Structure 1
């Protein structure tokens, strides 16, 4: 076989494997995504203890939305009220389905940008984007802040 052809074939093989390697998330990114996934798994299960374990001390939740035809409002959500609601039995599973669009990390600070769709059981409720700020503490990545948008239209 011609050595130039062999070198070209080897180069193409190497080049074709690079995108697959570039798409694999780093261990830190995977750990951050796991924290967010655990938060939503706990919400789906109605397990407020599981959700609480993903939160940093002093975590803050904000909602950014409003009713159609009214001005958009920034609302602070009560975390203890949220955790109580999660742990209180409800007829439908709270199923927030996120996609990890972007994860940014600098040292012990991370930001997750994630479009989502929210379902009550199997019924679509609303969609938007979640923005998570996470901090790396002694016991791993914890959610320090969540802010989201909420709407019923212009979803997917």
Structure 2
């Protein structure tokens, strides 16, 4: 009976630790979107390692699959610029996977300028745990303007 109780307690402890790790990882991901909403390039940079890899995957007008390398510094500069309209990118369907110091996050998103829909897709993040902090080292997103199924509670 004592062994069963010990195994149950250890299982709860590990489950709690995994949940805590997922929350820490999602905190970093959510800070990216908060930085975008508030034009805070300093907060954005804190979420990433130096010189991360960023890409966009999309289908062009000719139906060809394209993988475009993005310039991270350009992204930082764009986020930090004052804007007439707020960049709002709500997310849902968060999937977090962790193995040691490596994590991946896959989320659906919709991008709005203020309340006006622009596009939707998926953001896929890879993070590394360094010196006790999760940092994004790779980000790729997809973008499309149609076939977007956005939950009602996500829409502005």
Task: Classify the TM-score, shorter chain.
Answer: 0.7 to 0.9
CA distance in 2, matches of 1:83, 1:70: 30
**2:148 maps to 1:145:** no
Give the 5 Å matches for 1:52-67.
52-67=45-60
Q: Which residue, out of 67, 71, 74, partners 1:78? A: 71
2:97 corresponding residue in structure 1: 104
CA distance in 2, matches of 1:67, 1:119: 21
| Larger Rg, first or second structure (1 or 2) | 1
Unaligned runs of 5+ in 1: 1-21
Whether contact under 8 Å (1:48, 1:84) holds in the other structure is yes
TM-score (norm 1): 0.81
Unaligned runs of 5+ in 2: 1-14, 150-156
Q: Which residue, out of 21, 25, 30, partners 1:32? A: 25
The superposition leaves residues 55-79 of structure 1 with CA deviations (integer Å, 9 ceiling, x where unpaired) of 0122111001144334121111101
Give the deviation of 1:139 after TM superposition: 4.6
Runs of 4+ in 1 over 4 A off after TM superposition: none
Q: What is the RMSD computed on CA atoms of the aligned residues?
A: 1.9
1:45 corresponding residue in structure 2: 38
TM-score (norm 2): 0.81
Whether contact under 8 Å (2:51, 2:72) holds in the other structure is no
